[in-house]
Amino acid sequence: MMNSMTKWILWAVLLGMLVIYPRIFGIYYTNVFVTFAIFALFAVSLNLLLGYTGLLSFGHAMFFGTGAYGTALALEHIEGMPLLSAVLIGFFAAVILALILCPIMVRVSVTAFAMLHLAFGQLMFVLALKLRAITGGEDGIGGFPIPPFSIPGIVSIDMTDPSNFYYFAIAVLGVSIWILWFFTKTPFGSIMVGVRDNANRVDYMGFKVPQTKAIIYMFAGGFAGVAGAIYALFQNLIAAGDGFHIIVSFAPIMMTMVGGIGNFFGPVAGAAIFGIIEELTSRYTERVELVMGLILILVIMYAPMGFLGFIQIIKNRWFEKVAAKANTEEAL
Amino acid sequence: MDAVTAMYVAQGIHGLCYGMILFLVASGLTLIFGMMGILNLAHASFFMLSAYFSYTVLKVTGNFWLALLVAPVAAALLGVLLERYLLRRVHAFGHIGELILTVGVALVILEGVKVFWGTENLPLPVPEFLQGLVNIGGMDYPVYRIFIIGLSFSILVILALILYKTRLGMVVRAAVSDADMVNALGVNVPLVFMFVFGAGTWMAGVAGVAIAPILTVFPGLADQMGMDAFIVVVTGGFGSLGGAFLVSIIFGFLSSYGVQFVSTLAPVLMFIFMAIVLVIKPIGLFGERE
């Protein structure tokens, strides 16, 4: 086991790498990293449902899109909207959507849950396309002002500069992922896993299963909304296709499956793997999704616990051999 | 007959035509769901694939009947391969793995279609002997749509006869209600699954060939039809054929009369209908289980 000292040093090194990253790799790869971080948070929030609670959602994009549109609309229509409040509006817009949907969603089976999300996700997509007066239809909302990040009287940082925005985005996304991680470590997080493994038993123990699911659902939705809000700020544009399209719902599922469903950081690894694959394959072919679909099929067929699960197995095997050897030596 | 009635009837034919096509796709979906407990998200992809196959067959041979015969069978064969070599292997990991696997297959088919046939709309001519209008009771109807309605209706009748009048149908219905028990009675249930999967994709394939001359063939076809078919299955009740039929026809009329009267709302009418049904009855109109 690592002692706490090494752990802190590792975290400090990671933080230092994040700080100097834009200086080393330049603007293009900085933007690639921000995209990765957005999808990492999006996938982690989905994994809260999929991996921890055992609920598969084919419409997680609706929270992503709602957060993005919430932030974009707030900045477009409210004069002098501060940056963090705009992100918070995105968060609460997604939470409210989750609040509206959860009375139906917490009471249905796994397959019905998935299909209802597919349908509601598509409904949101159609609404975003058709309510042209509010959402701008296919063109979306673009060119809204990006306010500077300011603490009144102390500091005001221009957010149109890519590297400044990088620090802001990484901070917000990092803190969000940390909150979700902390959430899974609370006693409530254990109930969550209990609901996945045996909902009846959790019920007998006196916990309220539907209410538990509803709270998790709102957490997952809200933080998908934060990811969407940062995405809207990052692109300075949100259109129906980017926010609500079914591919946006599938992306975090694929990332979670490929990265490793049984691990909190699996979706982060998955987002990284997908980012790298997209970077590499888009140089040779336009059909990036073909490659991703094939990878998804292969992973489900041969490595259902994903990349991190695969590493875990190898690790276990290696350490088991060592342990077994030690045991036999002791016995002898 | 005056113009207003004529308009109502013409829209009704359109609606019925679309409803029947929808039922061909949705019935396979709901049967497969009933047996295996999963919704095959790649189902509409086979529908689209069959439309592309028929385009190629028509281009090579120029024979519509040949296309109608070959394309759905080719799609069904691919469907059987998917069931045998992919779905069956991940069955042990539970429904989530199977569902996500079908997503992967749908993605691969969608992108594969773009690689082989390109992304543009491919027009398909209505076969010559089915062009034009036919006069029934003082009204002109497009022959091709009548043909589609007739074709779907005959498939529906054959399906009902097989399901309710033959031994095979009995086994299928028994397997829908309790697959394990049927297996224990000595029936080769995996083989029956494979057959049902093939039959379901075949029906989707027929629908794909039939609708290709009306909608043209393009990569968005699967998205459009798939979503409607899923809503039909969800609203009609998972695994219920009667529910799927009723809701398909309602949706057909909703879409045709919806465009006529409330054109701005037309795309969301089905969702509204679904939401109302689900709020009242969360397992769908005729659903018996979740």
- The predicted-structure confidence for B96-143, as pLDDT tens digits, reads as follows 788 888 889 998 999 999 988 888 888 888 887 777 777 776 677 788
Is B241 among the domain residues?
A: no
Give CA separation, A222 vs A79, A91, A95, A133, B58, in Å.
24, 5, 5, 25, 51
Percent of chain A with pLDDT over 70: 95
Q: How far is B129 from chain A (nearest CA, A)?
A: 38
A155: enclosing H helix or E strand: strand A155-157
Q: Supply the pLDDT for residue B47.
A: 93
Query: Any idea what DSSP says for residue A283?
Result: T
The set of residues, in sequence order, having a beta carbon less than 8 Å from that of A221 and lying 6+ positions away, is A45, A63, A94, A95, A97, A98
Confidence of residue A220 (pLDDT cuts 50, 70, 90): very high
Is B202 among the domain residues?
A: yes
Q: Supply the pLDDT for residue A223.
A: 94
Percent of chain B with pLDDT over 90: 24
Interhelix angle B3-36/B221-236, nearest 10 degrees: 80
Percent of chain B with pLDDT over 70: 97
Give the SS3 label for residue A142.
Answer: strand
CB-CB under 8 Å, B274 with A119: yes
Q: Considering only alpha carbons, which residue of chain A is nearest residue B113?
A: A290
The residue assigned the tokens 């050897």 is: A325
Both tokens of residue A147?
Answer: 């306010």
Q: Could you please state the CATH topology (level 3) that the domain comprising A26-307 is classified under.
A: ABC transporter involved in vitamin B12 uptake, BtuC (1.10.3470)
pLDDT surpasses 80 at A256: yes
pLDDT surpasses 90 at B78: yes
Q: How does the average pLDDT of chain B come out, rounded?
A: 85
B251 touches chain A (CB under 8 A): no
- Quick count: other Cβ atoms within 10 Å of Cβ B263? 9
Dihedral angle computed from the Cα positions of residues A217, A218, A220 and A226, in that order, rounded to the nearest 10 degrees: 160
Mean pLDDT of A291-304: 86
d(CA B47, CA B54): 11
Q: Considering only alpha carbons, which residue of chain B is nearest residue A258?
A: B100
pLDDT surpasses 90 at A290: no
Confidence of residue A66 (pLDDT cuts 50, 70, 90): very high
- Polymer length in residues for chain A: 332
Confidence of residue B256 (pLDDT cuts 50, 70, 90): confident
For chain B, what is the domain count?
1
CB-CB under 8 Å, A119 with B282: no
CB-CB under 8 Å, B107 with A287: no
Confidence of residue A226 (pLDDT cuts 50, 70, 90): very high
Q: Supply the pLDDT for residue B137.
A: 66
The set of residues, in sequence order, having a beta carbon less than 8 Å from that of A272 and lying 6+ positions away, is A36, A40, A259
CB-CB under 8 Å, A257 with B107: no
Q: Supply the pLDDT for residue B138.
A: 67
Q: How does the average pLDDT of chain A come out, rounded?
A: 85
d(CA A246, CA A196): 25
Which sequence spans correspond to the domains of chain A?
26-307
d(CA A91, CA A219): 10
Both tokens of residue B171?
Answer: 């086994």
Q: Which residue has the higher pLDDT, B286 or A327?
A: B286
Enumerate the residues of chain B whose CB falls inside 8 A of the CB of residue A300: 90, 93, 97, 100-101, 104
pLDDT surpasses 60 at A328: no
Is B125 among the domain residues?
A: yes
pLDDT surpasses 80 at B267: no
B129 touches chain A (CB under 8 A): no
Mean pLDDT of A18-33: 83
Confidence of residue A76 (pLDDT cuts 50, 70, 90): confident
- Residues in chain A whose Cβ is within 8 Å of chain B: 50, 54, 56, 58, 104, 107-112, 114-116, 118-120, 122-123, 126-127, 129-130, 246, 250, 253-254, 257, 287, 289-290, 292-294, 296-297, 300-301, 304
- Quick count: other Cβ atoms within 10 Å of Cβ A296? 24
Identity of the residue in A107, A114, A122 whose CB atom sits nearest the CB atom of B282: A107
Confidence of residue B206 (pLDDT cuts 50, 70, 90): very high
Q: How far is A281 from chain B (nearest CA, A)?
A: 14
d(CA B179, CA B111): 35
pLDDT 10s digits, B157-180: 998 899 889 998 899 888 877 888
**For residue B41, what are the domain limits?**
3-228
Enumerate the residues of chain B whose CB falls inside 8 A of the CB of residue A120: 271
Q: What secondary structure, in 3-state letters, does chain B show?
A: CCHHHHHHHHHHHHHHHHHHHHHHHHHHHHHHHHHHCCCCCCHHHHHHHHHHHHHHHHHHHCCHHHHHHHHHHHHHHHHHHHHHHHHHHHHHHCHHHHHHHHHHHHHHHHHHHHHHHCCCCECCCCCHHHCCEEEECCEEEEHHHHHHHHHHHHHHHHHHHHHHHCHHHHHHHHHHHCHHHHHHCCCCHHHHHHHHHHHHHHHHHHHHHHHHHHHCECCCHHHHHHHHHHHHHHHHCCCCHHHHHHHHHHHHHHHHHHHHHCCCCHHHHHHHHHHHHHHHCCCCCCCCCC
Both tokens of residue A298?
Answer: 């292969």
Enumerate the residues of chain B whose CB falls inside 8 A of the CB of residue A112: 234, 238, 282-283, 290
For the ranges A197-201, A205-209, A259-263, the lowest mean pLDDT is seen at A259-263
d(CA B210, CA B224): 15
Q: Supply the pLDDT for residue A322.
A: 65
pLDDT surpasses 70 at A219: yes
Is B106 among the domain residues?
A: yes
Enumerate the residues of chain B whose CB falls inside 8 A of the CB of residue A119: 227, 230-231, 234, 271, 274
- Quick count: other Cβ atoms within 10 Å of Cβ A196? 15
Both tokens of residue B70?
Answer: 């070959």
Identity of the residue in A107, A110, A127 whose CB atom sits nearest the CB atom of B96: A110
Enumerate the residues of chain A whose CB falls inside 8 A of the CB of residue B96: 50, 54, 56, 110
